[in-house]
């Protein structure tokens, strides 16, 4: 009871801003972690830490995990696109591009959600507004990549990886809406189950990476460059897992419960802004004008997509109410 009371005293607006700052700073933390850890290690440590935090919160709130095998099967599939692929992809992409540019890649999630929704969700219609927004968003991505310029453009492979990671979120949440729309995964049940599935996936992924990277340190090694303990990078990734992946899910649930799904989903628009600001101020990163212009175009397209349709209001499914576009 004390836990619930202390949480409800904080207005959802404060939690909304905290969520934008936490998820926006995740790209900075991944960049710091790359000073000593491999992308796969960062993803695994982040997922493991987040899962442990949510298990504690789950027990404290009295919420139960799903019990049906069918539900766990679909959660395992979706965790590939919501945990393993994006968490590894963003860290891998940041080995080639800045954290600010990686945050911009995350802004493509709403575009991907619309495209995958047309394929997986029969009820989704491609309205004229959505079609125009998708085209505009695609033009924004092209503007960022600057294919007409041979020098001075961002690393196309690195930016392609972070765009694919951002689009993976759109596929994962669309898959959940398609397969588990009739299942009520309230509270922290869904994010906890997703991270537990993600933890199970990252064990073989990490072992395969270690086998292919031989000779090299063990996947659980804490030694950084030069053999010294990498306390700074490891601490950054632990913060990313505990705060940015574990506690952030709780904040997101509170925001959705206090303000609704529509307002809660708009935090996605603030994430790249925070990542750009932190990358420039903390890491001294620089974005050329095409990247800033392209980001503005992509962001505008995402906002247009998020505007409500002028039709009868439909009650969101349980998966939609719990869906988060996490970085």
- What is the per-residue pLDDT across 54-90, written as a single tens digit (0 to 9) for each? 999 998 888 889 988 999 999 999 999 999 999 999 9
SS3 for 38?
Answer: coil
pLDDT at 5: 44
Q: Could you report the per-residue pLDDT of 128-180, keeping only the tens digit for each?
A: 888 888 888 888 888 888 777 767 778 899 999 999 999 999 899 889 888 98
118 falls in which pLDDT band (50, 70, 90)? confident
CB burial of residue 17 (10 Å; 0-12, 13-18, 19+)? middle
Q: Which of 259, 273, 230, 274 is nearest to 321 (CA)?
A: 259
> Which residues have a Cβ under 8 Å from the Cβ of 205 and sit 6 or more positions away?
40, 44, 84, 88
Instruction: Say how far apart CA 62 and CA 32 lie, in whole Å.
Output: 35
Mean pLDDT throughout 108-126?
Answer: 83
pLDDT at 308: 72
2 falls in which pLDDT band (50, 70, 90)? very low
pLDDT at 23: 93
Among 27-41, 164-178, 222-236, name the one with the lowest average pLDDT: 222-236
127 falls in which pLDDT band (50, 70, 90)? confident
Distance set, CA 280 to CA 19, 25, 196, 285 (Å): 20, 12, 34, 5
6 falls in which pLDDT band (50, 70, 90)? very low
pLDDT at 217: 65
**Total Cβ atoms within 10 A of residue 204:** 9
Q: What is the mean pLDDT of the chain?
A: 84
Mean pLDDT throughout 103-107?
Answer: 89
Q: Is the pLDDT of residue 47 over 50?
A: yes
pLDDT at 161: 96
204 falls in which pLDDT band (50, 70, 90)? very high
Q: Is the pLDDT of residue 101 over 70?
A: yes
Among 75-84, 111-120, 157-166, 220-229, name the one with the lowest average pLDDT: 220-229
For residue 215, say if its preceding peptide bond is cis, omega within 30 degrees of 0: yes
310 falls in which pLDDT band (50, 70, 90)? low
């Amino acid at each position: 009871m004390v836990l619930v009371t202390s949480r409800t005293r904080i207005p959802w607006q404060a939690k909304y801003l905290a969520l934008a700052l936490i998820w926006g700073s995740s790209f900075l933390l991944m960049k710091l972690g790359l000073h000593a850890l491999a992308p796969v290690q960062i993803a695994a440590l982040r997922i493991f830490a987040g899962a442990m935090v949510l298990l504690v919160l789950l027990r404290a709130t009295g919420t139960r995990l799903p019990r049906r095998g069918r539900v766990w099967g679909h959660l395992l599939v979706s965790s590939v696109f919501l945990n393993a692929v994006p968490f590894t992809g963003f860290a891998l992409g940041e080995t080639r591009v800045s954290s600010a540019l990686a945050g911009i890649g995350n802004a493509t999630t709403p575009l991907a959600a619309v495209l995958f929704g047309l394929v997986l969700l029969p009820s989704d219609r491609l309205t004229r507004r959505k079609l125009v927004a998708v085209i505009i968003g695609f033009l924004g991505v092209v503007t960022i990549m600057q294919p007409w310029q041979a020098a001075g453009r961002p690393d196309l492979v690195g930016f392609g990886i972070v765009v694919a990671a951002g689009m993976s979120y759109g596929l994962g949440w669309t898959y959940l809406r398609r397969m588990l729309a009739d299942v009520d995964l309230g509270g922290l049940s869904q994010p906890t189950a997703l991270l537990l599935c993600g933890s199970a996936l990252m064990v073989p992924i990490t072992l395969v990476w270690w086998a292919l990277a031989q000779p090299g340190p063990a996947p659980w090694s804490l030694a950084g460059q030069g053999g010294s303990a990498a306390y700074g990078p490891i601490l950054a990734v632990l913060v990313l897992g505990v705060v940015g992946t574990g506690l952030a899910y709780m904040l997101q649930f509170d925001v959705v419960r206090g303000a609704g799904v529509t307002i809660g989903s708009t935090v996605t628009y603030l994430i790249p802004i925070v990542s750009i600001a932190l990358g420039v101020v903390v890491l001294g990163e620089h974005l050329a004008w095409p990247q800033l212009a392209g980001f503005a175009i992509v962001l505008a397209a995402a906002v247009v997509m998020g505007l409500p349709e002028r039709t009868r209001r439909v009650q969101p499914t349980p998966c939609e109410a719990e869906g988060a576009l996490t970085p």
